[in-house]
Structure 1
Amino acid sequence: MAEGRKTEDSVYDFLYVDTRRIAQFSSQFNQYGHLTNLTRSVSETSTGGGDINVVAARVNKSASEQTGQVRQFDPKWLNPLTFLDDAERRGLIKRDIKSSEIGQIVLFTGQLLLFDAGMMKGAWDKPIVQKMIRAGIPAAASGVDTSGLSRHDRRIRAKETKESANNELDFTMSMLSILPHMLQVRMLSEDTSVWSTLEDEFVIGRSSDLVLKHGSLLSGEWNMIGIYDALPYDAAYRTEEGREDADIAADVAGTVIGGMAARMGIIARNMIGRPEHTYGMTPLLIFREVSS
């Protein structure tokens, strides 16, 4: 990767650059800290004239002139490349997430899917959106086994099931209106999936332009370098005592408010967060290689 960057027929097209975290790492690579300004100066000196004898004195009439050129460079886009070289040289970049450990820097390559959840934040309270979602409730109700019931009891059971589904939907819609709606990406390889959120300020360009141009799937092969920070999970997992993540998190929190917040976190993840069986990464760079 580092060698490829130095060839004249290849450059990197960055989609995402977390300058804040890269500066944090670069400060640890360099004894002088993170590079914020780069100045290059070139000077030339020319001398002319000579000595003149005046009576017994000797007067030096030579003249010296120095010209210089100073160039100021913005290292903003140099820093990501320097970070790649430094991290690669130190052997910090791992290429197999399955054999990596939590907290390590991982390079993941695959297809890139972009989801701008913020586009949906104002849609949940729209009647037409709720109507479209509720349209699927009768199908859920019809899935209840009522073969051993009378026609009257079947109608009662179907009504109860639909009311329960409506109540669950009301709760879901209320929760969706207050949960954070962030820009999300998911990267897919042949047998592995990685999920991340992106900070809008570090996206090169505008996410809305990408969505309007590509939809969800961005063309080409993309690379993500980031901090591996979450193992895949199973939403159906229960302990031997039948307890789930939300119960354990609530106990660890130790207070009523903490317990509610812990359960809210689990709900947020399950509703609009990281899908089960996917790895979690905090991206530093997302890019693709452009060659001649």
Structure 2
Amino acid sequence: MAQEAQPTESLYDILYADRARLSSYLAQIDPNGVITGYKTSTTDGSSVGSELGGGVPTVASAKARYSIENKDLAERTFDPAAALPIEVMNRLDENGYIHRDLKNVPIGGLLLVKGRFALRDFSQFPAFWPLMKKILPFKDLATNANNQFSKKTISVNDIESLFKSLLEDIPQPVQLTFETSKEYLWSTLAEEGFATSPIDIFLKHKGIIPGEWYILAIVDGHPISTENADDASIPDSFGESLGIPFHQLAQDMRSLFGRPDNNYGVSPLVIFRQVHCSKVNG
């Protein structure tokens, strides 16, 4: 079912914006490129004039005229960066690049939908390692790994050590789950893209952000199934005997911390909500 069209003549509260990618899109559709600033100037002027005259009976009369002019030059510089996300979205929409029906968006296409979303912060996971050791299925992972590596024996301790190293060494970005009427979108978010600190959001909302939100995003992946699994084939150059087992182990680990199989993978460009105004009777 297609999503309703999002009006462009509105006031928006922007929570997240990928300005680097937005600038790249604008540079491709605008022949002038990305505008980095506006400057306007005004001039106010005034003048005062006076005339001196004199005469001598035997000398021709003479007159001298002078004027003093004052000019005030006022310049104002405007930064268009704040308007960039909505400006690019409107331009992309006008050129027909934005889809609103998730089912018909190709990989690499742009999608605009509304719904609600939740954020998850895994940056504190290393502190929970003693508890995670008791609940994660390390035995099953070790069994799967041994089924792949027929010449080696991988113990549960090996898998535990691997997970512990990943938690300590690999950065854990904020994760997003965006729910539309029927589908789920998943992504990671860069902290520098937030208009307000993610920590403030977590402390205030505990993850689920209330209200109706819109997301403009690049569709990177469809839900994973046995028919369209991205690990169906491995290039021969990766290593026939070594590559496939390691790849499968990485897939098992990703299933615990990465995108759920039934979610679409996206790269958000803008996350925003519409600001509704109400007229106050005077």
- Equivalent pair of 1:22/1:80 in contact (CA under 8 Å): yes
1:196-211 matched pairs, under 5 angstroms: 196-211=187-202
8 Å CA contact 1:110, 1:223 repeated in 2: yes
CA contact (8 A) 1:249 1:263 kept: no
For the pair 1:12 / 2:16, whether they are aligned, the reply is no
1:180 Cα shift?
4.6
Q: CA RMSD in A?
A: 3.3
Relative to structure 1, is the Cα distance of residues 137 and 202 closer, same or farther in structure 2, using a 3 angstrom cutoff?
closer
- Tell me if structure 2 keeps the 8 A contact 1:47–1:62: yes
Q: Is the 8 A contact 2:98 2:110 kept in 1?
A: yes
Confirm whether residue 101 of structure 1 aligns to residue 106 of structure 2: yes
Give 1:267 shift: 3.6
- Verify: 1:112 aligned to 2:102, yes or no: no
Find the partner of 2:268 among 260, 267, 283. Answer: 283
* 1:194 paired residue number: 185
What is the SS of the residue equivalent to 1:117? Answer: coil
Tell me the alpha carbon deviations over residues 216-275 of structure 1, each in whole angstroms, 9 at most, x when there is no partner: 2111111110111211112xx279xxxx75462264634777657644653443221111
1-side partners of 2:111 and 2:79: how far apart?
28
Per-residue deviation, 1:82: 1.5
For residues 158 and 219 of structure 2, the distance between their equivalents in structure 1, rounded to whole angstroms, comes to 34
Give distance in 2, aligned partners of 1:56 and 1:93: 80
8 Å CA contact retained: 1:49, 1:63: yes
Q: Which moved more, 1:81-90 or 1:55-64?
A: 55-64
Paired-residue identity, %: 27
In structure 2, what is the Cα distance between the partners aligned to 1:256 and 1:61?
A: 96
Distance 1:169 1:82, change over 3 A: same
Matched with 2:127 is: 123
Tell me how far 1:40 sits from its aligned partner.
1.7
Between structures 1 and 2, the one with greater helix share: 1
Which amino acid in structure 2 is aligned with residue 123 of structure 1?
Answer: A
Q: Distance in 1 between matches of 2:227 and 2:273?
A: 40
**Partner of 1:148 in structure 2?**
none
Q: 1:34 — aligned with what?
A: 34
* 8 Å Cα contact 1:94-1:100 kept in structure 2: yes
TM-score, normalization: structure 1? 0.74
Structure 1 equivalent of residue 93 of structure 2: 88
Deviation at 1:41, TM superposition (A): 1.3
Q: TM-score w.r.t. structure 2 length?
A: 0.76
How far apart, in 2, do the equivalents of 1:85 and 1:179 lie?
37
Change (3 A) 1:59 1:245: same
How many pairs align?
Answer: 253
Alignment map for 1:56-67 (pairs within 5 Å):
59-67=64-72
Q: Is the 8 A contact 1:105 1:225 kept in 2?
A: yes
Cα distance in 2 for partners of 1:193, 1:210 equals 21
Deviation at 1:192, TM superposition (A): 0.7
Aligned equivalents of 2:81 and 2:258: distance in 1?
A: 31
Partner of 2:211: 220
Q: What SS does structure 2 have at the residue aligned with 1:34?
A: coil
Equivalent residue number for residue 47 of structure 1: 47
Instruction: Assess if the C-alpha contact under 8 Å between 2:133 and 2:160 holds in 1.
Output: no
Q: Which residue of 1 aligns with 2:238?
A: 253
